[in-house]
């Protein structure tokens, strides 16, 4: 049976694109579902080549490394078709990051998740994460050696 992308999957792909890289546990928190069922759906998306799930012990701890989720070029194309994401945004800019910054990006996402949770608990607290309009242009410039000082 062919894989069918549903509305929740599209939302999930959008979250992965927004956060760039997430642990399976972080995804479960974002979609407010149990980790086990989230892991199963992520496996379905990975089998459809919409996301990549890699294992990496970013914290250097013992035990099984946690699954790290990122968007694939096919997943980005799917988002473009459904959500109208600009064609100038390339998968490398929203997908996997360099291994040296992996731990940092995961930690930043934990901070974002905690702030988001605090905003739910405190109704008067308003939180808005904003990406500068030229952020993607700057990333492209940095990669080509024309970065800004």
Place of tokens 């994401």: 85
Confidence (pTM): 0.74
Are the beta carbons of 70 and 96 closer than 8 angstroms? Answer: yes
Per-residue model confidence as pLDDT tens digits over 68-123: 998 888 888 888 888 766 666 655 555 555 666 778 888 889 999 998 888 888 88
**Which of these, 66, 63, 76, lies nearest to 22 by C-alpha position?**
66
DSSP for 68-134, please give it. Answer: EEEE-HHHHHHHHHHH---TTS-HHHHS---HHHHHHHHHHHHHHHHHHHHHHHSTT--------TT
pLDDT bucket at 136, cuts 50 / 70 / 90? very low
pLDDT digits (tens, 9 = 90+) for 39-62: 999 999 999 999 999 887 766 667
**Residue 17 token pair:** 């694109």
Task: Say how far apart CA 49 and CA 10 lie, in whole Å.
Answer: 14
């Amino acid at each position: 049976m062919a894989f069918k992308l549903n509305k929740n999957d599209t939302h999930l792909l959008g979250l992965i694109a927004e956060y760039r890289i997430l642990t399976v546990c972080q995804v479960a928190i974002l979609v407010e579902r149990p980790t086990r069922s989230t892991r199963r759906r992520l496996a379905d998306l990975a089998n459809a080549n919409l996301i990549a799930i890699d294992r990496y012990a970013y914290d250097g701890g013992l035990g099984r490394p946690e699954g790290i989720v990122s968007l694939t070029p096919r997943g980005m194309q799917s988002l473009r078709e459904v959500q109208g994401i600009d064609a100038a945004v390339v998968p490398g800019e929203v997908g996997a990051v360099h291994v040296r910054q992996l731990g940092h990006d995961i930690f930043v996402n934990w901070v974002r998740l905690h702030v988001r949770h605090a905003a739910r608990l405190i109704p008067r607290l308003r939180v808005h994460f904003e990406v500068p309009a030229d952020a993607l242009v700057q990333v492209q410039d940095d990669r080509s050696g024309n970065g800004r000082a």
